[in-house]
A and B are shown apart, each in its own frame.
Chain A
Amino acid sequence: MSVPTILCIDDEALGLEIRKTVLERAGYQVLVATDGPAGLSIFRERNVDGVVLDYYMPEMDGGVVAEAMRRERPAVPIMLLSAYINLPAEVVTLVDVTLLKGEGPLELLEKLRLMLGAKNQSPPPMPRSGGAA
């Protein structure tokens, strides 16, 4: 069983880097992009098992990015991760999972595992060590 590849898109470079480390620790292969267009080009070029997408980004917001991805490969599950509290309803229905930033890494990993499991019927990756503090 191959390691699932996750594409992370967020304009917050530092937050993105830290999130990448967390996901890698959990056993995922992680690709990153700091804006929508860059994320989309990676999505087209690479085989991605799931997307963790920030909503509030300059120029092209997460809603637009998710729509473009759905048009190309609707099977790829998308998690909308945002600090934005008033997400538009059509964007919420478009994606598989929404998660508020700041809910913590355990919540992130759990929701990601469930999302990948539901979409791909593939077993969730096992973190190298169980849980955190």
Chain B
Amino acid sequence: MRLPEFNRTLRQLVTVPIVLLILMAGFLVWQIVAATTAQTALDHSDQVTAQLQELESLFIDQETGLRGFQLTGDPVMLDPWKAAAGPIEMHFANLRAMLPGDNAQLKSLGDLETGYNEWLGFANAVLNQNPTALNAAGMNQRGKAMMDGIRGSAAAMLRHEQNIRAERYHHARWLQRRELLSLLVSAVLVGIFLAMFSRHHVHAISASYLRQIAEITERSDQLFESQQWFQTTLESIGDAVIACSNRGAVTFMNAVSEKLTGWTIADAKGKPLEKVFHIVNEQTRQRCDNPVEKVRRLKQVVGLANHTVLIGRDGREYVIDDSAAPITSGDGKMIGVVLVFRDVTEERRVQTALVASEKLAVAGRLAASIAHEIHNPLDSVANLHFLLAEESDPVKRAEYLRLAQQELSRTMQISRTMLSLYREPKAPIQIDLSELIEGVLLLLDRRLQHQGIALETNIAGELMVEGFPAELRQVFTNLIVNAIEAAGVKGRVRIRMERAESGELQGAGAMIEVADSGPGIAPEAARRLFQPFFTTKGVEGTGLGLWVSMGIVQKHGGSISVATSADTDLPGARIQVYLPARTLAQQAGQPAA
């Protein structure tokens, strides 16, 4: 039942009984008025009867007075006669006034009055005569007859009035009974109706109330279930989840976050987040910013800095990757913060292994070239040694020894260059980039020659940057080998190096460009070029070269970008590497991937 319907029902419950009772009261008033009218009519009959009886009595008084005077001749005897005359007139007048509409009675009254007046005329005639003649028998007979007639008329009127009264009495009694019965019946009917009406409405309200109770119960059950569902889902999620209030007090933790932090939700609930979620920088060991503060400041999803380590309650450490997001209410107000994080310790180990394996892969790519470079002079040295053993001419011996020395130096140079791919100083050092690239080109010399690559270099002049030489050699070996492979047989490769002036976005440093005459890089490939395991070389490539190269360059505070050259002279891919003169890198090792 909706609220308007409910209100209407309530209004009906009040107004319908009132209206009904008013109607019933009206009906009863009508009944009472009818009964009262009947009573008044009854009273009227009684009054008419009383007047008639009074009149009869006055007639007797007058007759008696007249008789007394007749008998005694004493005028005193006429006093009643005289006294009655006025009232008789009055009664006649009263009766006439009381009987309008009743023609029969009016006619009888007229007859009575006429009879009386005749008698009165007779009586006056008697009184005016000689008193002795008063007792004449004939006269008395006549007077008596006249008076009898009057009495008869009055009696007839009385009878008639009695009849009317009796009728009226019955009518009044009937009305009284009807009134009583009406009262009874209407009271019973209204009572029954009101009882049924109220019962029906109260039933409706009560049914609606029960229905609403059931609905609310069901809804709260559903709400409970849905809450359970969300709780279970959050609990079962593979990532760790911690929710906290706007002020940073922990409100929820799932099983994974309990495991990683070493805190149970029972212990952690209400505690400040930084106590439960203790994070430090992997390298500096300094405490990281409280993510709740950061979210509150920025009001958006924030990621955590790289190299974040979570220290559990038991002292165990996990490298984690995480994000923090504001929890907002319906009206956009921030009511809390949710942290989602993952243990990436294993992932980091795998990444480190991948970086190491890529380093080996670079060596692998050079192995054939290196073997060739070393075996050639070694072969000569072995031959020279063979010749020396049998040669006795000192001039020839000296020549053989000189040649052997020359070939050995070449071998050592190759070997040193190869070793420099691996030997790394502990801190960044000053590197002459042109020297470094020349070294890489020396290792690749055979390869370039074999493919008949026309190499154009513009790397004259010393250009110093700070960094880790082995890692940078790895980067340039990758880039140049890629260019050689892309250029193909008799292709062209151009290596350019120039000083980069300090600008708005970067400090002073070096810009090295490696361009080739190959087919260029498709835009969709360019986007994925620096992702791990992306390769355009099929099974030949590891797909790690550029990913690791980018990691190394970024670690040095530089950047690496790829474009397909618009230069018609050299239409292939063009990779640009910027390296700052002052590096940001702290130590050699895995790049910041």
> Which B residues between 315 and 343 are near A, CB-CB below 8 angstroms?
none
Give min CB distance, A111 to chain B, whole Å. 14
- Bound state CA distance, A60 and B382, in angstroms? 27
The answer, yes or no, to whether A96 is at the interface (CB within 8 Å) is no
Contact flags A63-91 to B (C-beta < 8 A → 1, else 0): 00000000000000000000111100000
- Bound state CA distance, A59 and B453, in angstroms? 10
Interface of A is mostly: loop
Smallest CB-CB A-B distances: 5 pairs: A83-B375, A101-B379, A105-B386, A102-B378, A133-B389
- Bound state CA distance, A11 and B449, in angstroms? 11
Of A15, A59, A103, A133, the contact of B452 (CB 8 Å cutoff):
A59
A42 contacts which chain B residues (CB < 8 A)? none
* A83–B452 touching, CB < 8 Å: no
Of A14, A21, A86, A132, the contact of B368 (CB 8 Å cutoff):
A86
Give min CB distance, B415 to chain A, whole Å. 14
- Bound state CA distance, A18 and B391, in angstroms? 13
- Bound state CA distance, A106 and B387, in angstroms? 11
Contact flags B275-295 to A (C-beta < 8 A → 1, else 0): 000000000000000000000
Query: Which A residue sits closest to B446, measured CB to CB?
Result: A56
A92 contacts which chain B residues (CB < 8 A)? none
The answer, yes or no, to whether B450 is at the interface (CB within 8 Å) is yes
The answer, yes or no, to whether B372 is at the interface (CB within 8 Å) is yes
The answer, yes or no, to whether B380 is at the interface (CB within 8 Å) is yes
Give min CB distance, A86 to chain B, whole Å. 6
B382 contacts which chain A residues (CB < 8 A)? 102-105
Contact flags A91-114 to B (C-beta < 8 A → 1, else 0): 000000000111111100000000
B379 contacts which chain A residues (CB < 8 A)? 15, 19, 83, 101-103
* B371–A85 touching, CB < 8 Å: yes
Query: Which A residue sits closest to B372, measured CB to CB?
Result: A83
The answer, yes or no, to whether B536 is at the interface (CB within 8 Å) is no
> Which A residues between 105 and 133 are near B, CB-CB below 8 angstroms?
105-106, 129, 132-133
- Bound state CA distance, A20 and B278, in angstroms? 74
Give min CB distance, B382 to chain A, whole Å. 5
The answer, yes or no, to whether A22 is at the interface (CB within 8 Å) is yes
The answer, yes or no, to whether B385 is at the interface (CB within 8 Å) is yes
A86 contacts which chain B residues (CB < 8 A)? 368
The answer, yes or no, to whether A57 is at the interface (CB within 8 Å) is yes
B390 contacts which chain A residues (CB < 8 A)? 25, 129, 132
Query: Which B residue sits closest to A108, measured CB to CB?
Result: B383
Interface of B is mostly: helix
B378 contacts which chain A residues (CB < 8 A)? 101-102
* A84–B383 touching, CB < 8 Å: no
Contact sample, A vs B, 30 pairs, CB 8 Å cutoff: A12-B376, A14-B380, A14-B403, A15-B376, A15-B380, A18-B380, A18-B383, A21-B383, A22-B386, A56-B372, A58-B452, A59-B452, A61-B450, A83-B372, A83-B379, A84-B368, A85-B371, A86-B368, A101-B376, A101-B379, A102-B379, A102-B382, A103-B382, A104-B386, A105-B382, A129-B390, A132-B385, A132-B389, A132-B390, A133-B385
Give min CB distance, B449 to chain A, whole Å. 4
Extra contacts, 13 of them, besides A83-B371, A102-B379 (Cβ < 8 A), are: A14-B380, A14-B403, A14-B406, A15-B379, A18-B384, A21-B387, A25-B390, A83-B374, A83-B375, A84-B371, A101-B378, A102-B374, A129-B390
The answer, yes or no, to whether B407 is at the interface (CB within 8 Å) is yes
- Bound state CA distance, A22 and B376, in angstroms? 15
Give min CB distance, A55 to chain B, whole Å. 9
Give min CB distance, A37 to chain B, whole Å. 13
* B376–A83 touching, CB < 8 Å: yes
B406 contacts which chain A residues (CB < 8 A)? 14
Number of interface residues of B (CB under 8 A): 27
Contact flags B178-200 to A (C-beta < 8 A → 1, else 0): 00000000000000000000000
* B375–A100 touching, CB < 8 Å: yes
B372 contacts which chain A residues (CB < 8 A)? 56, 83-84
* B387–A22 touching, CB < 8 Å: yes
A61 contacts which chain B residues (CB < 8 A)? 450
A103 contacts which chain B residues (CB < 8 A)? 379, 382
A84 contacts which chain B residues (CB < 8 A)? 368, 371-372
- Bound state CA distance, A25 and B387, in angstroms? 8
- Bound state CA distance, A25 and B450, in angstroms? 31
- Bound state CA distance, A72 and B386, in angstroms? 34
With A58-B449, A83-B375 as given contacts, are A105 and B380 in contact (CB-CB < 8 Å)? no
Give min CB distance, A133 to chain B, whole Å. 4
* A58–B389 touching, CB < 8 Å: no
- Bound state CA distance, A18 and B387, in angstroms? 9
Query: Which B residue sits closest to A109, measured CB to CB?
Result: B386
Contact flags A1-33 to B (C-beta < 8 A → 1, else 0): 000000000011011001101100100000000
- Bound state CA distance, A25 and B368, in angstroms? 31
With A58-B450, A61-B450 as given contacts, are A101 and B375 in contact (CB-CB < 8 Å)? yes
- Bound state CA distance, A12 and B382, in angstroms? 15
- Bound state CA distance, A102 and B452, in angstroms? 25
Query: Which A residue sits closest to B367, measured CB to CB?
Result: A85
Which of B376, B379, B387, B450 gathers most chain A CB within 10 Å?
B379
Query: Which B residue sits closest to A105, measured CB to CB?
Result: B386
Query: Which A residue sits closest to B404, measured CB to CB?
Result: A18
A22 contacts which chain B residues (CB < 8 A)? 383, 386-387
- Bound state CA distance, A83 and B381, in angstroms? 14
Contact flags B404-444 to A (C-beta < 8 A → 1, else 0): 00110000000000000000000000000000000000000
- Bound state CA distance, A98 and B374, in angstroms? 18
- Bound state CA distance, A59 and B374, in angstroms? 21
Give min CB distance, A77 to chain B, whole Å. 20
Give min CB distance, B388 to chain A, whole Å. 8
Give min CB distance, A64 to chain B, whole Å. 12
> Which B residues between 345 and 400 are near A, CB-CB below 8 angstroms?
367-368, 371-380, 382-387, 389-390
* B450–A18 touching, CB < 8 Å: no
* B386–A106 touching, CB < 8 Å: yes
B384 contacts which chain A residues (CB < 8 A)? 18
* A85–B385 touching, CB < 8 Å: no
A105 contacts which chain B residues (CB < 8 A)? 382-383, 386
Query: Which B residue sits closest to A59, measured CB to CB?
Result: B452
Which of A61, A86, A102 gathers most chain B CB within 10 Å?
A102
Give min CB distance, B365 to chain A, whole Å. 12
B385 contacts which chain A residues (CB < 8 A)? 132-133
